[in-house]
Structure 1
Amino acid sequence: MNKQSFRFNNILKTNCIIDAHVHLPSVHWPHHKSFFDSVDSAVDYLKKAGIDGAVFNTWQGVFSKSARDVDEANADALNLAKIYNGFLYPGAVINPLFNNESKLWLEKFRDAGSIWAGELVLQNHGLPYIAPEFLKLFEICAKHNHIVQLHQDKDIIKLAAHFPQLRIVCSHIPESSTLLQLAKCKNVWLDISGSIGGLVIGQIEKSVKAFGIDRVLFGSDFDGYEPASFIARVNSVIKNAQDREKIFKNNFLSLLK
């Protein structure tokens, strides 16, 4: 598989929307219960909601507690990206408690054509993003041009300064003072997903004001949140059609280059 394998089929479509923050169900994994009982039903819901392509990992990966979780979740993501080729772009899961496994999967994802890692969260291991165990993995990501998607946290500011060549996507919109500090980091982008994201009136507005229109990505945090609601908010707030297209797809595509 090469990098062409993960191109989105509808990328030239007018009003194409790429959701840069999606989690798909791990149906046979007992530690997280999704509303959806199959990946098929989740993907079908995304498409009906107006999504033309999704950047994703699975819940087993997000909340990985073991090396087995890391291995199974990453293998599952690559397999799903093949099954739904043209719609799904897989993100690698790395866990600082399982350094060797994480390094191996970063390499496998690169070989498969994906340079995305994440979304990565903190609650499954308790280590901060600037912990030595994490920094070793982020150094590899920086060296090999991976994009790292991180759950919003003040330590992203320190990480961005430590690895200025590392491209980071901050997921969800932080409180105003952190938002302004993050916006000063030119290697940080912002996705508008989640409960403190673009659904809240004023959040998209202040994000675009801080980051500029070119560093804001569309994301919903599906399967926990309704993508159509985020689409409606962007359409309501961003009046210029070219600016909407940047948020919906072009900023993501530019980031991948």
Structure 2
Amino acid sequence: MKKCFTYACSLSLLLIALTGKSQSGPAHYTGKIIDTHVHIAVEEGESNSMSTERTNTLKDVLAFMSTASIVKAGIITMAQKGNMADTRLRNDSVIALSKKYNSLIPICSVHPMDGEEAFAEMERVHKQGVKIIKLHPNYQRFDVAAPEVAALAHKAGELDMVLLFDSYSPLDGNEIGKLIMLAVGNQKAQFIFAHMGLVNFPQLLTIDALKKYPWYKNNIWLDVSAVAPILGDSPFHDQLVWTMRKIGIDQFLFGSDFPVFDPLAAIKSVHAMGFTQEEEKKIFYTNACRLLQLQP
């Protein structure tokens, strides 16, 4: 009996040595997290507009941050075309919240088709410390290839700002290519492609090709909001992880897309993808610190 027990223990130790794994599984990063993609209700009646499962009031945002090791959250608003009064109101709302709560990062918005008024608004919020502008081709109903969008991206470059784009369109299969070309043509600006193009994520491998050229400034970042919980444990898992590593884990950010997704579940979906602890730390925290010039 003693020999059998000794043999079993030896076999277990041998398997651990060969595979590098114990029954408890790989260790995950458990430190500070920056969530770069949080939608917050800024007007009464908006708290139920994005999810049937949860509301997104300030109270809701602060509550999930306290339970998920999220030390900072980028709170998003979105502008509507031709209504600059509402745009300024929305932007002022997230700026005010960020001044009251140091853990909140204001992500303001303009509409590309508002032209010079949009540029003036970008300058106004930039003077108040805003670094990120949110643009949503689907919600705001514009074509990424429109000259007005290129002009706005040029303005963002002048102001050293980051443009956060929703990067999945069910109607425009060329949108990933348009976004990449926009970033290539405006390398003084930084770009975040939210959701990694979702089901179109393989098209992002173009970024790996761009890295071979000396003129490319590596100004494209990607957040894993939506794509991690939807495709992270799907048959596309291996291809998704391979694509991310091919592009470079240094360019990826964590985003929950709250309230559409539960932040704790979003965090677990990244853990389930099989990254190393160091890779997870970059995705969850240090990459965002580098992009936003935050002290780690």
Q: What range describes the TM-score normalised by the shorter chain of this pair?
A: 0.7 to 0.9
Q: Distance in 1 between matches of 2:179 and 2:193?
A: 8
Q: Distance in 2 between matches of 1:166 and 1:37?
A: 30
Q: Deviations over 1:75-103 (max 9, x none)?
A: 11111111212x10111202012223322
Shift of 1:168: 0.7
Q: Kindly tell me: are residues 105 and 183 of structure 1, through their superposed partners in 2, closer, same or farther at Cα, counting changes over 3 Å?
A: farther
Paired residue secondary structure (2:108): coil
Aligned to 2:125: 109
Paired residue secondary structure (1:190): strand
Q: Distance in 2 between matches of 1:123 and 1:76?
A: 23
Counterparts in 2 of 1:124-139, with a 5 A limit? 124-139=139-154
| 1:41 lines up with 2:56 in the alignment | no
Q: Distance in 2 between matches of 1:103 and 1:29?
A: 29
- Work out whether residues 164 and 193 of structure 2, in 8 Å CA contact, stay in contact via their aligned partners in 1: yes
- Work out whether residues 81 and 113 of structure 2, in 8 Å CA contact, stay in contact via their aligned partners in 1: no
Aligned to 2:287: 251
Q: Kindly tell me: are residues 238 and 44 of structure 1, through their superposed partners in 2, closer, same or farther at Cα, counting changes over 3 Å?
A: same
| 1:70 lines up with 2:87 in the alignment | yes
| 1:163 lines up with 2:186 in the alignment | yes
Amino acid at match of 2:164: Q
- Work out whether residues 40 and 75 of structure 2, in 8 Å CA contact, stay in contact via their aligned partners in 1: yes
- Work out whether residues 199 and 230 of structure 1, in 8 Å CA contact, stay in contact via their aligned partners in 2: no
Q: Kindly tell me: are residues 204 and 54 of structure 1, through their superposed partners in 2, closer, same or farther at Cα, counting changes over 3 Å?
A: farther
- The TM-score, its normalising length taken from structure 2, stands at 0.73
Q: Distance in 1 between matches of 2:181 and 2:41?
A: 32
Shift of 1:234: 2.2
Shift of 1:237: 2.8
Structure with higher helix content: 2
Counterparts in 2 of 1:5-44, with a 5 A limit? 15-28=31-44, 33-34=49-50, 35-36=54-55, 38-44=57-63
Aligned to 2:7: none
| 1:229 lines up with 2:265 in the alignment | yes
Which sections of structure 2, spanning at least 5 residues, go unmatched?
1-29, 168-174, 211-217
Q: Deviations over 1:22-62 (max 9, x none)?
A: 1101332569725427322332123323322111213xx25
Q: Distance in 1 between matches of 2:46 and 2:229?
A: 31
- Work out whether residues 36 and 42 of structure 1, in 8 Å CA contact, stay in contact via their aligned partners in 2: no
Equivalent of 2:205 in 169, 172, 180: 180
The alignment-based identity, stated in percent, is 24
Q: Kindly tell me: are residues 81 and 19 of structure 1, through their superposed partners in 2, closer, same or farther at Cα, counting changes over 3 Å?
A: same
Paired residue secondary structure (1:128): coil
Q: Kindly tell me: are residues 143 and 110 of structure 1, through their superposed partners in 2, closer, same or farther at Cα, counting changes over 3 Å?
A: same
Paired residue secondary structure (2:244): helix
Equivalent of 1:92 in 108, 122, 128: 108
Equivalent of 2:163 in 142, 145, 148: 148
Shift of 1:233: 2.2
